[in-house]
Chains A and B, each alone.
Chain A
């Protein structure tokens, strides 16, 4: 069984379009994340949700809006796509909740969605 899944795996679209990426985890974790990895492999956190509640909202354009219908799902909607949005987007989940003080702080990543904006 896939632990963290994302759809689609590849997304090619034109500038100005709106698109969504879906993420689901079947690990029973309380916390889910969205990361962006650019062409230089820099992995940067965008959002974190704990039990459907937004915990982290990094400096991300408000064209990006996460939606968590339940704690097993965290979707990412992007409006008015720009060339600079081209990247690989990873969803992840972890069992440690909002504080990493205890436990191994393991993050389980989905396979990624490669977004190309033309």
Chain B
């Protein structure tokens, strides 16, 4: 079956760096995406990795290792506004499968 595993909660301090991991198990794989969702809001796209390696977009970076079926989202210079839920998602043929989300708590 298909599954994505990510931690349910992570806590970090403002200004620090945090890594949110995602492991996946799917029958087919095209790429790994990350989405951010604030309370009461809609998911918004952050990044996408189709190939192994690190993709950097400002304070956010995303990494993929296809051989390990593993990826992570790295958030640097954490700000209070980064408090949100983060979802990894995998495209398998025509379907997008989302992980259950990681709630990021940021302490001042």
Contacts and interface: CB of A to CB of B under 8 A. Distances in A.
Interface of A: 33, 40-45, 48, 55-56, 58, 90, 98-101, 104-112
Interface residues of B, number: 24
Given A56-B95, A98-B94, A109 B100 contact: no
- Name the 8 nearest CB pairs between A and B, nearest first: A100-B91, A109-B42, A43-B98, A100-B30, A104-B48, A106-B45, A109-B43, A98-B94
B93 A99 contact: yes
Given A100-B31, A101-B30, A106-B48, A111 B42 contact: yes
A93 to B, nearest CB: 12
B87 interface: yes
Contact of B42 (A58, A101, A110): A110
B85 interface: yes
Contacts of B97: 45
B44 interface: yes
A105 B43 contact: no
A105 B31 contact: yes
B89 to A, nearest CB: 8
Contacts of B42: 90, 109-112
